[in-house]
Structure 1
Amino acid sequence: MSPKNYEIIEHSRGWNGYFKLDVYRLRHDTFEGGKSAILDREVLERGHAVAVLPYDPVRDEVVLIEQFRPGAISVQKTYPDMPLWLNEIVAGIIEDGEKPQDVAHRETLEESGCTIIGDLEYISRYYVTPGCSSETVTLYYGRVDSTNIGGIHGVVDEGEDIRVYKVSAEECFAMLQNGQLCNATATIAVQWLMLNRDRIRKETSALRP
């Protein structure tokens, strides 16, 4: 049986800027019974995110975005071949009072210029890096029309400079396999599409007159 209980001995806010850092002193039940040693841990309170895989099942095209990521700067010291501009799917943070579905529609339009057709399909909700952050991602598939998709998008006031482009599903799968999609959210979404592409295309075909 997995342990279930934990005890917070001390909790304080270590940083309260755009990101928030909480400092914990805690202990928890162990698998063998009893309590763990007292642990001092910092947790980044990043907020919760929503991501969308914009896919056109009629044209069999995936809409991707590319943008600069400052977190990749220090990564290049260890892995010089890792990019600073990442190929990604649409994503954004849930603001107070928003529902994940609302964020999905808003971010898809802001970041890619796409409007989601019909209902979103839930893919998964997962921890990003629970060893040090509270962030989760709720991931959806959104059907779009990729006919006239492209160009530069994003909210200027938020410093966004996003290149939007589209590739065939097969090209997208090749990008995953050759390491061009080197972030977890895009990887999970495209692997899901590899498993569900035929079903989605059949369902979409059945809806067409």
Structure 2
Amino acid sequence: MTDFKPENYPFFSRADVEVVDRQTVFQGFFRIDQYKIRHALFNGGHSGVFQRELFERGHAVVVLPYNPQTDELVLIEQFRVGALDNPNGPWLLEAIAGMIEAGESTEQVAQREAEEEAGLVLEQFLPMLSYQSSPGGSTERIHLLLARLAQREVAGVYGLADENEDIKVHLLQRSDAMLLLKAGKIDNAATVIALQWLTLNLRQVIENWS
């Protein structure tokens, strides 16, 4: 028998950090803040004051449309400048995603982006999980949602021209998507996590949506 208590982890909290100074050093579409901080140490006492830069890009929603009757899901393919040197090339297979704007719920973002990027109207949403994408240098939190896909005709090229979006929609069997994942053809974190979550929780999803 163990007395393990999840609430005892992590050991420290926000109260154990002192922000000595914070300045915005870049303001464009995104923002970069420069922090001077110190924090408590595991062996006692406090660190010296040190500097870190933090990328403030906001938070995002990623939605994976899934049809439990046909075991099919939707992925999109689009150009990503950050993947220029990706061995598979800079066109990535991804789940639908978008940034959260002021006053929006995660479901509202998911529906808006599904319409813009894939021409889809989604019916039901199931929260999967949320995580910080790169906490060493960014505040961004990703919220993953599973959405029930009812449309049988899913094809075409979508996206907003004024945002230089050129997005191809793929309707895939879940098993084929997992083969792409295994082959390294899907290598962006949010899509990898969403597909793995769906596989781990497939029975519960089908029971909920049957």
What is the TM-score normalised by the length of structure 1? Answer: 0.91
Choose from 126, 130, 134 the match for 1:121: 126
- Which residue does the alignment assign to 2:4? none
Give the conservation status (yes or no) of the 8 Å contact 1:51–1:140.
yes
Does 2:77 align with 1:66?
yes
Deviation at 1:145, TM superposition (A): 2.2
Identity of aligned residues (%): 39
Asked if the contact 1:58/1:204 (under 8 Å) is kept, the reply is: no
Find the partner of 2:68 among 28, 50, 57. Answer: 57
Distance 1:3 1:199, change over 3 A: closer
Q: Give the superposition deviation at 1:146.
A: 4.2
CA offset digits 1:3-58 (Å, max 9, x no partner): 23111111100111001000011111111111112211100001000010111111
How far apart, CA to CA, are the structure 1 residues paired with 2:88 and 2:58?
A: 26
Contact 2:130–2:141 under 8 Å retained in 1: yes
Deviates more, 1:104-113 or 1:185-194: 104-113
User: Using the alignment, how far apart are the partners of 1:36 and 1:98 within structure 2?
Assistant: 39
Pick closer, same or farther for the CA change 1:7–1:203 going to 2, 3 Å: closer
Q: What SS does the corresponding residue of 1:71 show, helix, strand or coil?
A: helix
Structure-to-structure mapping, 1:190-201, within 5 angstroms: 190-201=195-206
What do the CA deviations read for 1:112-152 (whole angstroms, capped 9, x no partner)?
1111113x101011000000000001111000124110111
C-alpha distance after superposition, 1:49-107 (max 9, x if no partner): 0010111111211100011111122xx2xxx5142111000100001121112101111
2:49 is the alignment partner of 1:44: no
Unaligned residue ranges in structure 1 (runs of 5+)? none
> What is the total number of aligned residue pairs between the two structures?
199
CA deviation map 1:153-187 (0-9, x unaligned): 11111111111011101101111111111000000
RMSD of Structure 2 on Structure 1 (CA): 1.4
Partner residue, 2:3: none
Gaps of 5+ in 2: 1-7
* Distance of 1:156 and 1:33 partners within structure 2: 55
The corresponding residue for 2:33 is 22
